[in-house]
Amino acid sequence: MVEWLWSAAAVLAAYLLGSVSFAVVISRVMGLSDPRTFGSKNPGATNVLRSGSKAAAAVTLGLDVLKGWLPVFVVQQLGAPHGMGAGTQALAGLAAFLGHLWPLFFRFKGGKGVATAAGVAFAFSPWLGLAVVTAWALVLALSRYVSLASLAAALFAPACYMLAGDVLWTALPPVAAVLAAMGFLLIYRHGENISRLIKGTESRLGGQKKDAPPPARKTGRH
């Protein structure tokens, strides 16, 4: 019973951390427009980049990756004495990812979860994370479609884990299930992007900006 409570607490904490939408927080701190109001309206690093601030986009990306990696890492390092094994690690990673998609603190309207999923993959195995990021970067370099690169990574991650896991790392069924679930949800969240890719209307990285961000609201007193 006590072990179950520890696992439940770890999963809940992971979800709450995932619910922090760093794209919105960093934009507010740096005086930028709310990323939910322009471009793709997705609170993620790619849309923050459309605001013109590479620094804000980089910080957002790093923190989104971190919030996927940290809960799994903490359970790995501290969970064993409390009966938390591979199942809790997998659920903590999934909870952080779900928090990003449906954040409690932002009315359950979150981002697509690519960076957070990458952080979870890195926590499961650095080799897996490196392989997934390499696949993402390769597809992006060849196509210049961020969405296509993300879809490729979503499909590649569970396949890579199941095919190469017994060679480069220990393949665990709970982790494989979570990677497959995250892959499915990533594809689901990219539904509109898939439609635009099919129609040939999807924006390429570095292409002409269709929707410029509105001016950031001034919060200072006059």
pLDDT score recorded for residue 219:
46
pLDDT score recorded for residue 221:
42
Domain boundaries, the chain: 2-199
| Distance between CA atoms of residues 95 and 98, nearest Å | 5
pLDDT single digits (tens) 127-179: 999 999 999 999 999 999 999 999 999 999 999 998 887 666 777 899 999 99
pLDDT single digits (tens) 15-72: 999 999 999 999 999 999 999 998 888 999 989 998 889 999 999 999 999 999 999 9
pLDDT score recorded for residue 1:
63
Maximum distance among all alpha carbons in the chain?
63
Both tokens of 31, joined, read 């005086």
| Distance between CA atoms of residues 102 and 66, nearest Å | 17
pLDDT score recorded for residue 220:
46
The H helix count followed by the E strand count for the chain is 10, 0
pLDDT single digits (tens) 187-209: 999 999 999 999 999 988 876 55
pLDDT score recorded for residue 52:
87
